């Protein structure tokens, strides 16, 4: 049976920690292997991307494989072929699928009807590769992850959901500040808490950020939500991560963002470009973490 990576909880705690250490080693040693020699991985992107596409394409090549990029415009994905038929056909051509799409159920269909590994490069519900990379970025600075308080400010979206799963896996405490109507899925929070995660939810950004070692946010209107921009601007008024909010965090706290960022909206220019910002390390670490995740997927 193939191994899949649809959420962080697909890995055991031990596996996730091993992948974290492997990603750090791959970064430090600029490690490249022939793990994927002779293999072709299809990058199926129904949502556009810069970092996700380039980091995965480069990562696959660093592991000796051949990436093939597909969008809904140049395939049957956006037409009338059932996804279950696409899964069965692609399984006969390639050795793995890296998918960036809308609903998580699409990945589950690919898993159900396909016979090759599926990796979640983003859905509306989860963004596990990004958050695993963010954990690597924190680990580089504070290896004792269980001592950390991590704050999330803004939309209870796919990023928030994967941070919730990461809190259950890596043991840091997580404080989320989300306005009414934009809170994380209660079922995802309940599952993480049942696994021992320490999670708090508030509508007060200052409360969430107080004493935090890492402060995270994301755009207020993600891809596909552009028509909600004005409505979301009103809902998220007061949720911008600016200098005043960062001052409530722990001394030496770092600012994180998955990018692209809307300066002057969810984050001030001063915070984004300031000394607390570690967003470029986050972006780089996508490459190293995704290589480690691919290696885990293809290991016996």
| CA proximity to 144, closest of 17, 300, 5 | 17
259 is in an annotated binding site: yes
129 is in an annotated binding site: yes
Which residue in 4, 22, 232, 286 is the catalytic one? 286
Which residue in 258, 282, 288, 290 is the catalytic one? 258
254 is in an annotated binding site: no
List CB contacts of 166: < 8 A, sequence separation 6 or more: 8, 131, 132, 134, 135, 172, 174
Q: Could you confirm whether 32 is annotated as catalytic?
A: no
Q: Could you confirm whether 79 is annotated as catalytic?
A: no
| CA proximity to 175, closest of 192, 157, 185, 163 | 163
Which residue in 155, 218, 232, 282 is the catalytic one? 218
13 is in an annotated binding site: no
Q: Could you confirm whether 254 is annotated as catalytic?
A: no
d(CA 81, CA 75): 10
123 is in an annotated binding site: no
Q: Could you give the dihedral angle defined by the CA atoms of residues 69, 74, 221 and 249, in that order, rounded to the nearest 10 degrees? A: 0
Q: 32, 62 in Cβ contact below 8 A?
A: yes
223 is in an annotated binding site: yes
Report in angstroms the alpha-carbon separations of 108 from 12, 204, 265, 300: 19, 35, 34, 22
Q: Could you confirm whether 232 is annotated as catalytic?
A: no
Which residue in 22, 62, 127, 213 is the catalytic one? 127
Which residue in 62, 130, 161, 288 is the catalytic one? 130
17 is in an annotated binding site: no
Q: Could you confirm whether 127 is annotated as catalytic?
A: yes
Report residue 181 as tokens.
């109507």
262 is in an annotated binding site: no
189 is in an annotated binding site: no
Which residue in 4, 62, 100, 288 is the catalytic one? 100
List CB contacts of 223: < 8 A, sequence separation 6 or more: 47, 48
d(CA 165, CA 162): 5
C-beta neighbour count of 92 within 10 angstroms: 9
107 is in an annotated binding site: no
202 is in an annotated binding site: no
List CB contacts of 197: < 8 A, sequence separation 6 or more: 164, 167, 168, 174
282 is in an annotated binding site: no
90 is in an annotated binding site: no
**Residue 240 exposure: Cα atoms within 13 Å on the Cβ side:** 19
* Kind plus residue range of the DSSP H or E element containing 96: strand 96-100
d(CA 54, CA 57): 5
The residues assigned a catalytic role are 100, 127, 130, 218, 258, 286
Annotation: binding site: 49-52, 76, 100, 127-130, 158, 218, 222-223, 258-259, 286
Annotation: binding site for carbamoyl phosphate: 49-52, 76, 100, 127-130, 258-259, 286
Annotation: binding site for L-ornithine: 158, 218, 222-223
């Amino acid at each position: 049976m193939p191994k899949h990576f649809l959420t962080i909880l697909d890995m055991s705690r031990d596996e996730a920690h091993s992948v974290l250490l492997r990603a750090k080693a791959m970064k430090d040693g600029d490690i490249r292997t022939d793990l994927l020699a002779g293999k072709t991985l299809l990058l199926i992107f129904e949502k556009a991307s810069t970092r996700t596409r380039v980091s995965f394409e480069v990562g696959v090549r660093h592991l000796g494989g051949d990436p093939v990029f597909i969008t809904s415009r140049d395939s049957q994905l956006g037409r009338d072929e059932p996804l279950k038929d696409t899964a069965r056909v692609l399984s006969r051509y390639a050795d793995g699928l890296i998918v960036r799409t809308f609903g998580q159920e699409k990945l589950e269909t690919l898993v159900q009807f396909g016979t090759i590994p599926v990796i979640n490069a983003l859905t509306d519900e989860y963004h596990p590769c990004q958050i695993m990379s963010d954990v690597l970025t924190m680990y580089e600075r504070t290896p004792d992850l269980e001592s950390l308080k991590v704050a999330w400010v803004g939309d209870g979206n796919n990023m928030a959901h994967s941070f919730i799963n990461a809190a259950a896996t890596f043991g840091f405490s997580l404080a989320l500040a989300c306005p009414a109507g934009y809170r994380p899925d209660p079922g995802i929070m309940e599952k993480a808490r049942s696994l021992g995660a320490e999670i708090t939810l508030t509508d007060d950004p200052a409360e969430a950020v107080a004493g935090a070692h890492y402060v995270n946010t994301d755009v207020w209107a993600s891809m596909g939500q552009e028509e909600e921009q004005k409505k979301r601007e009103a809902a998220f008024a007061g949720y911008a991560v600016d200098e005043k909010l960062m001052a409530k965090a722990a001394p030496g706290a770092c600012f994180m963002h998955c990018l692209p960022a809307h300066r002057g909206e969810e984050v001030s220019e001063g915070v984004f470009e300031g000394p607390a910002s570690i967003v470029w390390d986050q972006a780089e670490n996508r490459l190293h973490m995704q290589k480690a995740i691919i290696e885990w997927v293809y290991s016996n």
